[in-house]
Amino acid sequence: MRIVVLKDAQDVANFGANQIISLLKVKPKSTLGLATGSSPLNLYQKLIESNKQKHLTFNNITTFNLDEYLGLDENHPQSYRYFMNEKLFKHIDIKIENTHVPNGSSNNPIESCELYESQIANSGGIDLQLLGIGSNGHIGFNEPSSSLVSRTRVKTLAKDTVEANKRFFDDDQFQPHLSITMGIGTIMDAKKIILIATGRTKADAIKATIEGPVSANCPASILQMHANATVIVDQEAAYKLDNLHYYEHIEFENQRLLKAINQNNNLN
């Protein structure tokens, strides 16, 4: 697991966006796994700027979002489809028909989950999956106790997740307690994974993800078993890590190695 600790949320967004930009430069027809929530907002802004300045095109990419509330149709302002349209898709040159979000208003959600899995497989699999993390360690809506090999399915939201997301709903508005989410196995099939987290409210989840045992109690801890996962955090989200200085040292050495390779120098 690569652990990148940066100064603040903007640096995290820039670093994360650059991972995506670099991939699209070498593979313009990539399939991206995308996330919602407040964590990726600055990163999406950076991608939008890059697209507007013509440094980058999304014309050939396909996307799959992690999750959706069950019971909200795509025009509902709190649906994740609406979020993605408003926060990213509307502002870039992506073909909207190549964007996928699980169907939150499906009459047969179980069938929709199977369809979603086959659509991902038919696209050739996800090249890069972007993740946020819940303060209880969830990824997508894979709440604690989720099977670590689960596939896309209907998931009941944990009480603390409903509580954390209450801020987006009016008091008299229906707030879903169910979701459709990619499974942990689905996420782990991505060729590369980047997880971004900022702020002190994520510090416990980040400690459990990086330094805890691999456990369904903290679904994000499964990333320890992925061959190409990068966790990008700011100082606040990293402050509970026991081995923080060690991770910073490794990253320093990684950068030195890359620089030496790029300049064709030796490391002495």
3-state secondary structure of 176: coil
Distance of closest approach, residue 179 Cβ to ligand GLP, in angstroms: 7
Nearer to ligand GLP, 56 or 203 (CB): 203
Neighbours of 228 (CB within 10 A): 13
Burial of 105 (0-12, 13-18, 19+ CB in 10 A): middle
Q: Does 134 bind ligand GLP (CB under 6 A)?
A: yes
Q: At closest approach, how far in Å is the CB of 92 from ligand GLP?
A: 20
Residues in CB range of 263: below 8 A, 6 or more apart: none
Point out the residue whose Cβ comes nearest to ligand GLP.
132
The reply to whether 138 belongs to the active site is: yes
The one among 161, 209, 221, 230 contacting ligand GLP by CB under 6 A = 161
At 129 the three-state DSSP class reads strand
> Measured from the CB of residue 136, what is the shortest distance to ligand GLP in angstroms?
9
39 binds ligand GLP (CB under 6 A): yes
The answer to the question of residue 176 lying near ligand GLP (CB under 6 A) is no
Q: Which of 36, 42, 50, 79 binds ligand GLP (CB under 6 A)?
A: 36
114 is catalytic: no
Cβ-contact 139, 231 below 8 angstroms: no
For the bound state, the minimum distance from the C-beta of residue 10 to ligand GLP, rounded and expressed in Å, comes to 15
Please answer whether residues 82 and 104 qualify as being in contact, where contact means their C-beta atoms are separated by less than 8 angstroms.
no
| Stretch touching ligand GLP by CB under 6 A, among 71-79, 117-125, 133-141, 221-229 | 133-141
The answer to whether residue 38 forms part of the interface with ligand GLP (CB under 6 A) is: yes
Candidate ranges 30-38, 146-154, 185-193, 204-212; the one touching ligand GLP (CB under 6 A): 30-38
| Footprint of ligand GLP on 186-205 (CB under 6 A) | none
Whole-Å CA distances, 199 to 17, 133, 175, 206, 256: 18, 11, 25, 10, 28
Nearest Cα residue to 230 out of 203, 245, 215, 251: 251
Place of tokens 């050495």: 253
Tell which one of 10, 45, 57, 165 touches ligand GLP (CB under 6 A): 165
Give the whole-angstrom CA distance, residue 241 versus residue 186: 28
208 binds ligand GLP (CB under 6 A): no
Closest approach of ligand GLP to the CB of residue 113, in Å: 16
Q: 42, 103, 136, 142: which one is catalytic?
A: 136
Q: Choose the catalytic residue: 65, 76, 100, 138.
A: 138
What end-to-end distance do the CA atoms of the chain give, in Å? 26
- Closest to ligand GLP by CB, 60 vs 105, is 105
Query: For the stretch 183-199, what's the b/e string if a residue is b when 16 or more beta carbons lie within 10 angstroms of its beta carbon?
Result: bbbbbbbbbbbbbbbbe
Helices 41-52 and 9-26 pack at an angle, to 10 degrees, of: 50
Q: Give the residue numbers marked as catalytic.
A: 67, 136, 138, 143
Q: Please report, as ranges, the residues that interact with ligand GLP according to CB under 6 A.
A: 35-39, 66-67, 132-134, 140-141, 161, 165
